[in-house]
Amino acid sequence: MADLENAARAAIVNEEERVVQLGIATAMVAITVVMHLAGLALLVALLRGHRRRFGERFREWSQLAAILGAAFGLFALHTAEIWAYALLYARYAGLINFDDALYFSTATYTTLGTADLALPSAWRLVGAIESANGIILLGWSTAFFVSVINRIRLFEQEARGSG
């Protein structure tokens, strides 16, 4: 009878831990999605300003600068999102130091995974959801980057047609 009671208590604790993990993971997804949206909005504004500044002279070097700016901007954005998770892991999840937390977060966010570090069992669901979040945000960035390149090609075609 005592074993059954202990198993019931353990199930309740595990369920409570799972709810907490889901809450933390949901908050992190919301934070990183808002970060991503704000970052993409900033990149769009910068790219539009770049286009206006160069106008008809939006040629090869200017196009290259726009593509490089978008690529580095996206990389910076993902770096900030990875760091947000790393800060969470270093502060609350019991990873020994920030370097380990950053390494773990980078490997998790990119879905590479790591065999040499693991989160405590109370945090594993958060790590798994970081992977799903990373896939979605990386896909969003890919779509954005393809859109930027297509837009530049469109400007190039318009310039040829009017020139």
The CATH class for the domain spanning 2-162 reads mainly alpha
Give the separation between CA 13 and CA 162, rounded to whole angstroms.
Answer: 69
pLDDT tens per residue, the chain (163 residues)?
A: 666 555 545 555 588 888 999 999 999 999 999 999 999 999 999 998 877 776 665 577 788 888 999 999 999 999 999 999 999 999 998 877 999 999 999 999 998 888 788 888 889 999 999 999 999 999 999 999 999 999 888 877 776 776 5
Flag whether the pTM goes above 0.75.
yes
How far, in Å, are 2, 33, 50, 54, 100 from residue 81 at the CA level?
46, 9, 25, 32, 16
Give the separation between CA 134 and CA 50, rounded to whole angstroms.
Answer: 29
Q: Could you tell me the residue ranges of all domains in the chain?
A: 2-162
